[in-house]
């Protein structure tokens, strides 16, 4: 396909300069070109071109000349369709003709006279047609922000200055803050009319010191006092049999339609939406989102070009906003770090869910990750939430919905940090910290300032579990546990809320990979030193969008990665019984899980894919031991005779390169779990991967309607089918599989290195690509099935 003149190819795909849109590939590009937006802009551009060709630019006329006079004068060259004069001063006019020929005739005439003065008549300037983004999009479109901020950032003297510059350019200006304040005041007045004694409070980026220009306006409508008011009104009516006076509750008050003590959030929000629609000037696009974790009314304010959200049960958010303000005040380095890391995360497509929901980090989560990192610096930059609680005085004690939210009200109560690192090195340290973080094995707790083993959260109702929960909220702990996910970041106050529960495994992987890339980049001179040749340096390169190849080292280690299959530790997907075993295993949970994974891997090769094991001598290994797994009779019978060779290293309770302390060893497990490394050697004489899908389809048709649970048996049958029907390959494929558990300084996972030892027929690559998908899927099924 020949590229349209509006389209340019970029390292990330294609860019349509007309619509200012990026697409990843040709099919998406084709869709875009056929789409409504592109088509509409094309036709607008055509109209604009036509207007340019049909009109002339006129100036030099007397001050009071009107449009009619100009139209009458230019009629002599052809019918005039429109005369547009500049509104304010009347210095120039655009005279538009019906026909293009009239324009040419006008321009051919050397001189034009009107009311005794000589007019200047020129062809229209051909301006490039571009979609002009609305003001709001300016700061949301970070690609563009980088373009216009780049020269300024490159001219600063240091990364520290660059980071300060980002804050200065992004932060909410005083005028914008005032305008928001006025809108909140107006809303307060209007809501008080309908909900007496109600209070409207700002939270989130508008007021938490991390707001950027045109960020959302998050509001909490506190109806607690209104409920009291309503209850009082009700009981007084019952007692006296009379309605309340005008001052208290008028008959047509909205409160007479609803009982706040029993109404559902959606019912109340519907009312709020109706008030916004009918009574607040400038507000439009009002709608209720009742499916959100906290139902919300969304609106847009036309003049302020502002997106607003109103919730009615978000007292904790107001409090955590004050907490963020406190942290900002406690150490001035927090703000520049948060602004830069939020921008970086958006550029790398790790943060910024459109419309507030999606699989990426939200801004609150990014901010908490930065605070947690600062709590873990040596010496710490910020205290833990528990330490803050101890710094508070009695009057500052605060419990909301049962959660302890106590901390000092003034930053002055927080002793200054002894850490003297500058912004440049802290930013680099942030990336190193999370590049090596064991997301899968830990739950991040800002309250304690360290991570808690994930196993404590697998069975929190049990004796040892849910420590973090029980301390603060003994009653809720029994029933409320955070939803575990790929990243587990506990809210500092609502300890049953995982702020990153929405993240997918892919986001977690991308986050960690981007941190690793950024860590490497931060070690380079390009990060640390201003370029003397005017090249991009420091933050500018760091902020280059995902996929546009800012780092020169992106190819590192690719050959090795190609032959490694990773099985991530996803405890929340494991069956309950196994979760409970892992919980009991404590620090040894990684080895226990690894043992189960190895058992499953062995089954996949031996039983499902019918590979034959090779003796250790043939595989060239030093030692040989019988199978070490202890996962039930069923598995034992399956694994009998498998050439499991391993125990290359002494037992490490924390797995490979872990950093978790081995306290609380479980002797029984230690006896069972022999190694954090396993090696197998196998041969395969059939192309069991080729045509599997087809064979499976045929088998499923034969055994019509078999449930999904029959997956393992079905896969065994598929292999049998292939082995029985297809001829053996000329020279069997021989390969080694080495399994290793890693965790502690990186996400807990089993890494399987698969290497050919004999591949005369060149089949290994195909086999490996098949295994990449097949093996993790089957291991997951087997882990579940086994329990």
- List the structure tokens of 705: 């309607």
Beta bridge partners of 199: 222
Beta bridge partners of 736: 681, 755
Helices 159-170, 423-435: axis angle to 10 degrees equals 90
Rounded to an integer, what distance in angstroms lies between the CA atom of residue 664 and that of residue 316? 36
How far the first Cα of the chain sits from its last, in Å, is 54
Tokens matching residue 318: 């107001």
Burial of 419 (0-12, 13-18, 19+ CB in 10 A): middle
Residue 113 is encoded by which pair of tokens? 């006279």
Q: How far is CA 743 from CA 200, 501, 520, 707, 750, in A?
A: 46, 20, 20, 35, 9
Which residue do the tokens 């304690």 mark? 448
> Nearest distance from residue 50's CB to ligand UTP, in Å?
42
Run of H or E residues at 296? strand 296-301
Q: What is the CA radius of gyration of the chain?
A: 34
Tokens describing residue 311: 């919730």
Comparing every residue's Cβ against ligand UTP, the nearest one is 204
Angstrom CA distances, 328 to 193, 325, 337, 493, 530, stand at: 36, 5, 10, 18, 28
Minimum CB–partner distance for residue 140 and ligand UTP (Å): 10
Residue 604 backbone phi and psi in degrees, to 5: -60, -45
Query: Nearer Cβ to ligand UTP, position 170 or 229?
Result: 170
CB of 597 within 8 A of CB of 775? no
401 close to 489: Cβ distance less than 8 angstroms: no
**DSSP-assigned letter for residue 490:** B
What are residue 756's DSSP bridge partners? 735
731 token code pair: 């020279």
Residue labelled with tokens 């507000």:
283
Residue 215 C-beta: closest distance to ligand UTP, Å: 4
Half-sphere exposure of residue 417: CA atoms within 13 angstroms, side-chain side: 23
C-alpha span between 556 and 559 (Å, rounded) = 8
Q: How far is CA 258 from CA 262, 458, 552, 592, in A?
A: 8, 42, 63, 56
Distances (CA, A) of 280 to 188, 191, 258, 272, 297: 11, 10, 21, 11, 14
Footprint of ligand UTP on this chain (CB under 6 A)?
203-205, 208, 210, 215-216, 218, 316-317, 320-321, 362-364, 499
Give CA–CA dist 467/481, Å, rounded: 11
Task: Give the Cα separation of 41 and 37 in Å (integer).
Answer: 6
Q: How far is CA 542 from CA 135, 508, 514, in A?
A: 26, 19, 10
Cβ-based nearer residue to ligand UTP, 316 or 542: 316
**Residue 260, CA distances (Å) to 130, 134, 224, 291, 774 in order:** 51, 40, 9, 20, 54
Cis before 266? omega within 30: no
In whole angstroms, the minimum distance from the beta carbon of 208 to ligand UTP comes to: 5
Here the tokens at position 35 are 């789409």
Please, which residue, 320 or 616, has the CB nearer to ligand UTP? 320
Least distance to ligand UTP, CB of residue 203, Å: 5
Rounded to a whole number of angstroms, the minimum distance from the CB of residue 353 to ligand UTP is 9
- Minimum separation from the CB atom of position 62 to ligand UTP (A): 53
Between 143 and 751, whose beta carbon lies closer to ligand UTP? 143
Bridge partner list, 751: 566, 740
| Number of C-beta neighbours around residue 174 at 10 A | 8
Cα angle, residue 429 at apex, residues 426 and 430 outer, rounded to 5°: 90
**438 with 745: CB under 8 angstroms?**
yes
Residue 216 C-beta: closest distance to ligand UTP, Å: 4
Alpha-carbon span 453 to 593, nearest angstrom = 14
Q: What separation in angstroms does the CA of 250 have from each of 194, 246, 247, 254, 565? A: 10, 5, 7, 9, 70
DSSP conformational letter for 678: E
> For residues 212 and 597, which CB has a smaller minimum distance to ligand UTP in the complex?
212
**In the bound complex, what is the minimum distance in angstroms from residue 378's beta carbon to ligand UTP?**
28
Query: 546: which 2 tokens?
Result: 């995902």
- C-alpha span between 442 and 455 (Å, rounded): 8
């Amino acid at each position: 396909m020949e590229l349209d003149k509006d389209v340019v190819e970029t390292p990330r795909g294609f860019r349509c300069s007309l619509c200012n849109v990026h697409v990843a590939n040709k099919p998406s590009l084709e869709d875009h070109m056929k789409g409504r937006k592109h088509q509409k802009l094309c036709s607008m551009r055509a109209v604009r071109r036509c207007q340019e060709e049909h009109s002339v630019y006129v100036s030099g006329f007397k001050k009071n000349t009107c449009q009619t006079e100009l139209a009458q004068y230019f009629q002599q060259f052809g019918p005039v369709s429109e005369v547009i004069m500049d509104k304010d001063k009347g210095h120039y006019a655009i005279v538009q003709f019906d026909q293009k020929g009239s324009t040419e005739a006008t321009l051919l005439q050397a001189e034009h006279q009107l009311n005794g003065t000589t007019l200047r008549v020129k062809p229209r300037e051909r301006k490039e047609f571009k979609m002009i983004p609305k003001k709001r999009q300016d700061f949301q479109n970070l690609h563009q922000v980088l373009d216009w901020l780049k020269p300024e950032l490159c001219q600063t003297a240091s990364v520290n200055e660059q980071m300060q510059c980002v804050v200065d350019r992004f932060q909410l200006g005083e005028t914008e803050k005032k305008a928001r304040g006025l809108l909140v005041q107006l809303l307060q007045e209007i809501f008080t009319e309908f909900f007496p004694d109600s209070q409207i409070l700002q939270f989130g980026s508008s007021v938490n010191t991390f707001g950027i220009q045109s960020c959302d306006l998050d509001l909490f409508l506190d109806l607690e006092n209104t409920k009291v008011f309503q209850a009082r009104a009700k009981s007084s009516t019952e007692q006296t049999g009379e309605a309340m006076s005008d001052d208290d509750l008028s008959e047509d008050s909205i409160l007479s339609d609803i009982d706040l003590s029993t109404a559902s959030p959606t019912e109340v929000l519907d009312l709020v939406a109706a008030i916004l629609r009918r009574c607040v000037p400038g507000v439009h696009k009002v709608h209720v989102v009742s499916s959100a974790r906290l139902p919300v009314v969304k609106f847009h304010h036309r003049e302020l070009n502002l997106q607003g959200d109103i919730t009615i049960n978000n007292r904790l958010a107001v409090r955590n906003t004050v907490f963020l303000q406190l942290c900002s005040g406690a150490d001035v380095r927090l703000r520049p770090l948060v602004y830069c890391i939020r921008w970086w995360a958006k550029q790398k497509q790790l943060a910024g869910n459109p419309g507030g929901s999606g699989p990426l980090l939200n801004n609150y989560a990014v901010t908490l990750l930065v605070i947690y990192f600062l709590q873990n610096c040596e010496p710490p930059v910020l205290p833990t939430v528990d330490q803050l609680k101890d710094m508070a005085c009695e009057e500052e004690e605060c419990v909301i919905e049962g959660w302890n939210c106590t901390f000092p009200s003034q930053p002055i109560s927080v002793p200054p940090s002894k850490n003297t690192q500058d912004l440049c090195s802290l930013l680099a340290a942030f990336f190193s910290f999370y590049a090596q973080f064991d997301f899968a094995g830990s739950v991040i707790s800002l309250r304690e300032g360290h991570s808690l083993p994930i196993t404590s959260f697998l069975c929190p109702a049990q004796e040892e579990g849910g420590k973090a929960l029980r301390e603060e909220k003994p009653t809720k702990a029994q029933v409320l546990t955070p939803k575990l996910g790929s990243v587990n970041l506990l809210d500092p106050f609502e300890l049953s809320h995982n702020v990153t529960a929405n993240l997918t495994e892919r986001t977690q992987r991308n986050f960690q990979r981007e941190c690793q890339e950024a860590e490497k980049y931060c070690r380079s001179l390009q990060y640390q030193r201003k370029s003397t040749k005017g090249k991009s340096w420091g933050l500018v390169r760091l902020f280059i969008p995902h996929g546009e190849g800012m780092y020169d080292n992106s190819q590192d280690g690719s050959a090795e990665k190609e032959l490694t299959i990773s099985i991530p530790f996803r405890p929340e997907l494991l069956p309950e019984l196994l979760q409970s075993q892992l919980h009991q295993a404590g620090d040894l949970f990684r080895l226990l899980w690894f043992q189960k994974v190895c058992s499953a891997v062995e089954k996949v090769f031996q039983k499902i894919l019918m590979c034959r094991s090779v003796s250790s001598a043939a595989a060239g290994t030093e030692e040989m031991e019988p199978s070490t797994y202890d996962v039930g009779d069923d598995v034992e019978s399956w694994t009998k005779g498998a050439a499991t060779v391993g125990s290359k290293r002494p037992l490490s309770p924390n797995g490979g390169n872990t950093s978790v302390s081995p306290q609380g060893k479980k002797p029984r497990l230690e006896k069972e779990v022999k190694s954090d490394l396993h090696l197998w050697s196998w041969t395969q004489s059939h192309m069991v991967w080729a045509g599997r899908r087809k064979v499976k389809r045929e088998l499923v048709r034969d055994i019509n309607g078999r449930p999904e649970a029959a997956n393992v048996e079905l896969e065994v049958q598929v292999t049998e089918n292939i082995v029985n029907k297809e001829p053996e390959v000329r020279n069997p494929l021989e390969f080694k599989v080495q399994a290793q558990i890693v965790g502690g300084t990186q996400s807990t996972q089993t890494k399987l290195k698969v290497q050919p030892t004999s591949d005369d027929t060149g089949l290994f690559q195909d086999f490996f690509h098949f295994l990449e998908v097949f093996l993790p899927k089957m291991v997951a099924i087997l882990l579940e099935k086994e329990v």
